[in-house]
Amino acid sequence: MRATMKSLAALLGGLAVVASAGMAIAQETPPAGGEPKDFNLAEATEFELPNGLGVTMVPYGKVPKTTVQLVIRTGNIDESADEVWLADLMGDLMKEGTTTRSAEDIAREAASMGGSLNIGLGLDRSSVSGTVLAEFGTDLVALIGDVTLNPAFPESELDRLRGDRIRQVSIARTRAQSVTQERFRAVMYPDHPYGRLYPTEEQLQGYTLEQVRGFYEANFGAARSHLYVTGMFDEAAIREAIEAAFSGWKEGPPATVDIPEPVTGRAVHILDRPGAPQSTIQVGLPTVDPSHEDFVALSVSNALLGGSFASRITANIREDKGYTYSPFSQVSSRYRDAYWVEMADVTTAVTGASLDEIFYEIDRLANEPPSEEELRGIQNYLAGIFVLQNSSRAGIVGQLAYMRLHGLPDDYLETYVDRIYAVTPEEVQRIVQEYIRPDDMLLVVTGDRDQVEEQLVEFGTPIVD
Amino acid sequence: MRRTSLWAGAAAIVAMALTACQPADQPTAELDTAFSVPVEYYTLDNGLRVVLSPDNTAPIVTVAVYYNVGLRLEPRDRTGFAHLFEHMMFQGSENLGKMEFVRLVQEVGGVLNGSTRMDFTNYFEIVPAHKLETMLWAEADRMKGLAITQENLTNQQGVVSNEVKVNVLNQPYGGFPWLDMPQLANTNWYNAHNFYGELSDLEAATLEDVQEFFDTFYAPNNAALAVVGDFDPAEARAWIEQYFGPIAAGPEVPEFDISEPRQEEEKRSSKVDALAPRPALAFAYHTPERNSPEYWAFGLIDQILVQGEDSRLFQRLVQEDGFTAGVGGSMNDLGNIYNYEGPMLWTVSLYHDADVSADDILAAADEVVERIRTEPVDEETLARARTKLKSSLLNSMEGLFGFGRADLLASFALFDDDPSRINRIEEEFAAVTPELILQTAQEYLRPTNRTILTVEPGAAEGGAAAGAGSR
């Protein structure tokens, strides 16, 4: 069903393995397969426009499509406490037309190229992007350039878009996963944009066209942006189109650097959801970000602990106990900031039992290194995922943009697999001891308070609302 | 160039070179945008349909096994069983104990999944290319038979009931419209029951049910195998013969009458969603029989009316009237317009505010629908719709590292016995005339062919819900 047809990211955390229970006696062993084939990372060409806009072009694949993605180092990080989602509203309004194109023109032109124009505002990165049939690659560059440089910001559309965002927030606040995430972030990042996941209706009602324009003027510019082109394209023609579309862009200010100081320490929060059949859990703590020397070892440890199908937590609470469908842990990162989190929706009656098992698995890995064999399995898995991550247009752009954001060295991709395999069992144990510390974890549970509160007392005095 | 070891073997990563800037006036070859999918198709003696489609873009390979049984064909007192059964296929076979299959895939550096759709259940792996033989062996092992215990079944009943809770019961708009609409618009039980399953039915399932379902549907003569990616077809053929060849054919699968009668009256229902803070609206029409001339015309109608921000319903309901932020629409909510076989609905859905009535929105939508029923589409609109279809077909083929291509090939093998038609789809759409679009719209977008569903909000505005799911 749709529900089981997960995206790749979710797929990494779906099913799981139980090593002991119910194993059949193997009469045949799997054929080992042949010799591994070489993997060619796609070759990139880079250049920079005089205004500071960096460009990376990566020819890739045989499917006649071109992806163009402009990444701008701005987003919610540039909002003040009373401007939550002003960035998002600005992004909405950018699609409503340029000085020479109406919203319908933009939609039709993109559709005639076999694509659509997408604008997404994120926490510390935003993008204007599209994927079209390859013969229209240069036209897409021109369209993205016009939308980015010459937005009309028509006042006539502001109230409609505001209403859409108010409706979206209203619905998000009835989703257990959204409100859990909102609280988790608010507690971890007080007084920082990362801690303000949703605006109030009053905030959205209050934003003016001047504020929208002001946000654009203050935060859009070539110096903090990078353009990626990948897929099938004619390099010379694309380059010419980029120069034509973006040379006139103002340099603008550099990206904002506002590194948060997240709160670390055990706290238990309950968000009451009367009658809920499940409890929605997020449990985690701030940790090291991708620029840290321990980050690769942390990624390996996370995959083994809770971040893959065969991981220990998933094997325990899903495949052994049947408490949940889609438990998953990850290291969520932003520029010089990251936290580790385990997320799960568990049957209400086993809320406390699920947390006991999660902490049991963390403690077990902190107390005893994994076997060489278990670790090797995870390393093979991450090496395979690495190939997948670099084997699609979106994946290639994602990897390059990730390196650029975090300031990773040029040989990052080339050496990544070696660094995965260099992690030892003892290092995994040390990483868990050092970075995945239950005593310092924030625990947010959205569920039926009457049934859940007592189950959570063992983890700390719950703050309830 | 630096080389590093990969998958603990001899493979190397060839480094990305960040080359210096090339002169812009460098002459370049003409862009070659022709694209066609290589297809080798044959059938084993036991009836297994096999499709091979090599592509050496990346050193990965997709193995996908499709069984010709989906959500429609489950036992009447066992709603949700086809999907529960899908979970059982990961619980153990002759040579792979519980979840050893999953670990095997992960430890070779691959990913896997299974899904249950209207007319098939699939199982697939995307792995490093040199592990193709391993995956063929593993899929053949579970095609031979299952080896599971009551404990495994009980465990997965727990997992699936949690899946229903997280996706439906504890979500605002859970099951809207994909689970709700087939139950309202269809009249034949096979098309009109709860596909996810009632929790009581899921709990009632036994090991005997599991065995009977396997014996009825899970045989090579009711399945297709697709292999896509970086492999040598001759080598793949030999392995497929070696591992799948010895599996005995099963009995002929019984015939099921899944037909739907022509709908003659508009239907309308409403449901209160205790978790939802705002109203929602969906409407659906039964679509033309798959592969008929009208079906291809309807594919274009879908593009013109609801796909993309250039579509007429988006332009009217979002851009002009401001009723909603977006309009969802699809001809097959659980897949795409190609990968099903049987009666289908074209469903449109949206969320809106309480100060606008569903009738006002329907009146606006009706104007858009009536236009395509009475006015031939212009050339520009038709050309754009064809371009969008071509592009979305390429998207489908590219999806998930080659799995999307395997999905189409396996579906065309199972349902049409002709996977090579993947290369002829563009022609089918090119043959559709404005007159055919008009005729198709007149018959299939009749008000009497429509079912309307409204969702009434039962939750406090912007706050915690008053109660959990109403079912």
Q: What is the CATH number of the domain that holds A286?
A: 3.30.830.10
Whether A432 and A299 map to the same domain: the answer is yes
Cβ pairs A/B, distance under 8 A:
403
pLDDT value at position A42?
84
Whether residues B94 and A24 touch (CB distance < 8 A) is answered with yes
Choose among A40, A64, A174: nearest Cβ to B465: A174
User: What are residue B53's phi and psi, to 5 degrees?
Assistant: -140, 90
Q: Which residues are CB-neighbours of B392 under 8 A, at least 6 positions away?
A: B307, B336
A133 belongs to a structural domain: yes
A105 belongs to a structural domain: yes
Whether A163 and A120 map to the same domain: the answer is yes
Q: Which domain holds residue B424?
A: 267-457
Whether residues B111 and A272 touch (CB distance < 8 A) is answered with no
Distance set, CA B446 to CA A241, B88, B107, B283 (Å)? 47, 42, 54, 12
Residue B53 · residue B40 · CB < 8 Å: yes
Tell me how close the Cα of B64 comes to any Cα of chain A, in angstroms. Answer: 14
User: What are residue A443's phi and psi, to 5 degrees?
Assistant: -125, 115
Mean of pLDDT over chain B: 91
Amino acid, res. A200: T
Q: Does A24 touch chain B (CB under 8 A)?
A: yes
Tell me how close the Cα of B43 comes to any Cα of chain A, in angstroms. Answer: 24
The three-state DSSP-derived secondary structure of chain B is: CCCCEECCCCEEEECCCEECCCCCCCCCCCCCCCCCCCCEEEECCCCCEEEEEECCCCCEEEEEEEECCCHHHCCCCCCCHHHHHHHHCCCCECCECCCHHHHHHHHCCCEEEEEECCCCEEEEEEEEHHHHHHHHHHHHHHHHCECCCHHHHHHHHHHHHHHHHHHHHCCCCCCCCCCHHHHHHCCCHHHHCCCCCCHHHHHHCCHHHHHHHHHHHCCHHHEEEEEEECCCHHHHHHHHHHHHCCCCCCCCCCCCCCCCCCCCCCEEEEEEECCCCCCEEEEEEECCCCCCHHHHHHHHHHHHHCCCCCCHHHHHHHHHCCCCCCCEEEECCCCCCCCCCCCCEEEEEEECCCCCCHHHHHHHHHHHHHHHHHCCCCHHHHHHHHHHHHHHHHHHHHHHHHHHHHHHHHHHHHHHCCHHHHHCHHHHHHCCCHHHHHHHHHHHCCHHHEEEEEEEECCCCCCCCCCCCCC
pLDDT in tens, B103-119: 999 999 999 999 999 99
Residue B280 pLDDT class (50, 70, 90 cuts): very high
Instruction: Please report the residues numbered 394 through 423 in chain A whose beta carbons come closer than 8 angstroms to any beta carbon of chain B.
Output: 410-411, 413-415, 417-418, 421
pLDDT value at position B29?
52
Instruction: Please report the residues numbered 123 through 182 in chain A whose beta carbons come closer than 8 angstroms to any beta carbon of chain B.
Output: 132-135, 160, 163-164, 167-171, 173-176, 179
CATH of residue B157? 3.30.830.10
**For residues A432-454, average pLDDT:** 98
Choose the weakest-confidence range: A353-367, B17-31, B397-411: B17-31
Whether A218 and A360 map to the same domain: the answer is no
pLDDT in tens, B157-184: 999 999 999 999 999 999 999 999 999 9
A253 belongs to a structural domain: no
A5 belongs to a structural domain: no
Choose the weakest-confidence range: A324-333, B259-268, B460-469: B460-469
Is it the case that residue B8 has pLDDT exceeding 60? Answer: no
Q: Which domain holds residue A147?
A: 45-246
B95 belongs to a structural domain: yes
Residue B310 · residue A111 · CB < 8 Å: yes
- The total of structural domains in chain A comes to 2
Is it the case that residue A20 has pLDDT exceeding 90? Answer: no
- The total of structural domains in chain B comes to 2
Chain B residues touching A346 at Cβ < 8 A? 162
Question: Which strands, in side-by-side order, build the sheet including A65-72?
Answer: A118-121, A126-133, A65-72, A225-231, A54-59, A44-48, B18-19
What is the DSSP-derived secondary structure letter of residue A41? P
Whether residues B33 and A110 touch (CB distance < 8 A) is answered with no
Whether B79 and B122 map to the same domain: the answer is yes
B65 belongs to a structural domain: yes
Residue A17 pLDDT class (50, 70, 90 cuts): very low
- Give Dmax (Cα) for chain B: 71
Q: Which tokens sit at A278?
A: 């499940």
**For residues A177-205, average pLDDT:** 98
β-pairing, A39-40 with B11-14? parallel
Whether A237 and A270 map to the same domain: the answer is no
Domain boundary pick from B244, B276, B294: B244
**For residues B53-61, average pLDDT:** 95
pLDDT value at position A21?
34
Choose among A8, A43, A274: nearest Cβ to B467: A274
Tell me how close the Cα of B344 comes to any Cα of chain A, in angstroms. Answer: 16
A13 belongs to a structural domain: no
β-pairing, A54-59 with A118-121? unpaired
Instruction: Please report the residues numbered 430 through 449 in chain A whose beta carbons come closer than 8 angstroms to any beta carbon of chain B.
Output: 448
Whether B233 and B322 map to the same domain: the answer is no
Whether B271 and B240 map to the same domain: the answer is no
Choose among B10, B99, B398: nearest Cβ to A15: B99
Whether residues B159 and A2 touch (CB distance < 8 A) is answered with no
Q: Does A315 touch chain B (CB under 8 A)?
A: yes
Amino acid, res. B115: S
pLDDT value at position B460?
66
Q: How far apart are CA B237 and CA B254, in angstroms?
A: 30
Whether residues B98 and A319 touch (CB distance < 8 A) is answered with yes
Q: Does A250 touch chain B (CB under 8 A)?
A: no
Complex ipTM: 0.91
Q: How far apart are CA B36 and CA A354, in angstroms?
A: 50
Chain A residues touching B401 at Cβ < 8 A? 388, 391-392
- Closest chain B residue to the Cα of A391, Cα to Cα: B58
B258 belongs to a structural domain: no
Whether residues B35 and A42 touch (CB distance < 8 A) is answered with no
Choose the weakest-confidence range: A1-15, B81-95, B167-181: A1-15
Domain boundary pick from A246, A277, A298: A246
Whether A291 and A227 map to the same domain: the answer is no
A3 belongs to a structural domain: no
